[in-house]
A = this chain, B = another copy of it.
């Protein structure tokens, strides 16, 4: 049974690929059409305009990025160090399969804050108060902001800075996946060390 995908779906996938790779401004609608194996007019027939197609793609990508964290972070029943572990695991896995996802999202966000303000309104997350409470109760020496920024930074930064890291020779190209796989395990330990209270002298 030959499962054939619709033209609309083919266009979405092509748009996904090209937009994520090159960003909105550098993407040509003709290239998307070609990648989808269809006609340029089909793109406008199905999606109305380049921008509307872009919104479609960004909405999905943003959901991807947020849903790897939100539900875990806001669950009151998961202890905080368990959360870090799960998020480190989930995110690294997600980013290994979508390497240019974070840079794409963060760059387009910085260029088009309006678009993301709209999309965020649809996808509200409420993790902060929960983590705040958990941090206070466990009495560790770090703020929510720093905890989240450090955790996400450690996970995402290697992917964002990948070209720089490779070009500097710090990590070999074929070792990169291994590099982040290993970090995946270490990050929760690092965060634990960071958040631990100073021993009294």
Instruction: Determine if A5 is an interface residue (Cβ-Cβ < 8 Å).
Output: no
Chain A 117-153, CB-CB to B under 8 Å as 1, else 0, gives: 1001000010010000000000000001110111011
Residue of B nearest to A149 (CB): B158
Assess the B145–A113 pair: CB atoms within 8 A: no
Chain B residues near A196 (CB-CB < 8 A): 193
- Minimum Cβ distance to chain B for residue A99 (Å): 9
Q: Are A23 and B100 in contact (CB under 8 A)?
A: no
Report the minimal beta-carbon distance from A78 to chain B, rounded to whole angstroms. Answer: 20
CB <8 Å contact, B149 and A165: yes
Give the nearest-CB partner of A22 in chain B: B111
Are A125 and B168 in contact, CB atoms less than 8 angstroms apart? Answer: yes
A164, B194: Cβ atoms under 8 Å? no
| Contact of A64 with B by CB under 8 A | no
Cβ–Cβ < 8 Å partners of A179 in chain B? 145
Residues A162 and B110 in contact in the complex (CB < 8 Å), given A179-B145, A193-B193, A194-B193: yes
Of B25, B109, B160, B163, the residue contacting A164 (CB under 8 A) is: B109
Q: How far is the CA of A153 from the CA of B155 in the complex (A)?
A: 9
Q: How far is the CA of A179 from the CA of B24 in the complex (A)?
A: 31
A24: chain B residues within 8 A (beta carbon): 26
A146 vs B181: C-alpha distance when bound (angstroms)? 12
CA of A162 to CA of B116, assembled, Å: 13
Give the most central of A120, A154, A162: most B CB within 10 Å. Answer: A154
A-B CB contact pairs (8 Å), 23 listed: A26-B111, A103-B107, A103-B110, A105-B164, A113-B163, A116-B167, A120-B167, A120-B168, A128-B168, A144-B170, A145-B179, A146-B183, A149-B158, A149-B170, A152-B157, A152-B161, A153-B153, A153-B157, A153-B158, A160-B160, A193-B193, A193-B196, A194-B194
Closest 3 CB pairs between A and B? Answer: A153-B157, A25-B26, A25-B25
